[in-house]
Amino acid sequence: MPSSVTSSTPNASFIPYLDEPSGSVRFQVSLNGILCNASINQQALLHSFKAMSGTSDLLDIYNHHTQKIHEAALRRLAQGALAPVMLRECNFPPL
Domain boundaries, the chain: 17-91
pLDDT by 10s per residue, the chain, length 95 = 343 444 444 445 689 999 999 999 999 999 999 999 999 999 999 988 877 766 779 999 999 999 999 999 999 999 999 999 999 999 987 65
The answer to whether the CB of 94 falls within 8 A of the CB of 30 is no
Q: How far apart are CA 75 and CA 23, in angstroms?
A: 22
Residue 5 has what pLDDT?
42
Residue 2 has what pLDDT?
40
Residue 65 has what pLDDT?
94
pTM: 0.81
* Second CATH level (architecture) for the domain 17-91: 2-Layer Sandwich (3.30)
Residue 53 has what pLDDT?
67
The answer to whether the CB of 62 falls within 8 A of the CB of 25 is yes
